Amino acid sequence: MKIKPSILITIVVLVILIVLAIIFNGYKKPGTSTGQEKTSIAKEIYGISGTIEEIRQNTLTANALILLEDPTKQPISKKVNVSINDETKIYKLEFPDPENLTQEQIENGVQPKETKLSLSDLKKGDTIDIRTGENVSGNIKNNTSFTASVINVVE
């Protein structure tokens, strides 16, 4: 059976068009992801941990780890702005060296040494834990500041 040259050319052109359509329409294999899926942060957030990036009068910016709605996913890193008022308590927490703990301390648990600080004691690069009295998930989603109840500098 012989195929006419015009039919053969038509078939080749159709195959080329189909291949191009697949390429330009972003053919995606099943089970692959584009990496552009939207990550949703947790619906309730009352505290964050991170590192101080900038300190201004009564505010600080921290690069914080934000928990996601799906607890099996890794937290995301996000800059947050935190307001500090007269009610905000600031402490430095110092944990004992684990290699120097006694058996009694290991069995009963060890509390960190807590030292009261002021805003002027904070510095860029400090590792902090921020607690709030309200759910700040919306503030974090909308990039608006929130007021800290307690800031712990962790050493």
Predicted confidence at residue 37, as pLDDT, reads 43
- Tell me the two tokens of residue 98: 């684990």
Predicted confidence at residue 38, as pLDDT, reads 55
Structure confidence by residue, pLDDT tens digits, 128-151: 999 999 999 999 999 999 999 999
Predicted confidence at residue 56, as pLDDT, reads 93
Q: How far is CA 104 from the centre of its chain?
A: 37
Model confidence band, residue 33 (pLDDT cutoffs 50, 70, 90): very low
Do the Cβ atoms of 60 and 80 come closer than 8 Å? Answer: no
Residue predicted with more confidence, 116 or 97: 116
Q: Which of 78, 70, 60 is nearest to 121 (CA)?
A: 60
Average pLDDT rounded to a whole number, residues 67-82 = 92
Predicted confidence at residue 4, as pLDDT, reads 66
Structure confidence by residue, pLDDT tens digits, 4-26: 666 767 777 777 777 767 776 65
Domains belonging to the chain, first-starting first, are: 47-154 (2.40.50.320)
